[in-house]
Chains A and B, each alone.
Chain A
Amino acid sequence: GAVVSQHPSWVICKSGTSVKIECRSLDFQATTMFWYRQFPKQSLMLMATSNEGSKATYEQGVEKDKFLINHASLTLSTLTVTSAHPEDSSFYICSARDSPSLKLFFGSGTQLSVL
Chain B
Amino acid sequence: EDKVVQSPLSLVVHEGDTVTLNCSYEVTNFRSLLWYKQEKKAPTFLFMLTSSGIEKKSGRLSSILDKKELSSILNITATQTGDSAIYLCAVGGGSNYKLTFGKGTLLTVNP
Binding site for B on A (CB under 8 A): 1, 6, 32, 34, 41-46, 49, 57, 93, 95, 97, 101-109
Stretch at the interface among B65-73, B76-84, B94-102: B94-102
Q: In which size bucket is the chain B interface?
A: 20 to 34
Q: Are A1 and B104 in contact (CB-based, < 8 A)?
A: no
Q: Are A93 and B42 in contact (CB-based, < 8 A)?
A: yes
Q: How far, in Å, is A82 (CB) from chain B's closest CB? A: 24
Residues of A contacting B43 in the complex (Cβ-Cβ under 8 angstroms): 44, 93, 106
Nearest-neighbor residue (CB-CB) of A105 within chain B: B45
| 5 further A-B pairs in the complex, CB-CB below 8 A; given A43-B104, A102-B32 | A44-B101, A49-B96, A93-B42, A102-B31, A106-B43
**9 pairs of residues in contact across A and B, judged by CB atoms under 8 Å:** A41-B106, A43-B103, A46-B98, A46-B99, A49-B96, A101-B48, A102-B92, A102-B97, A103-B45
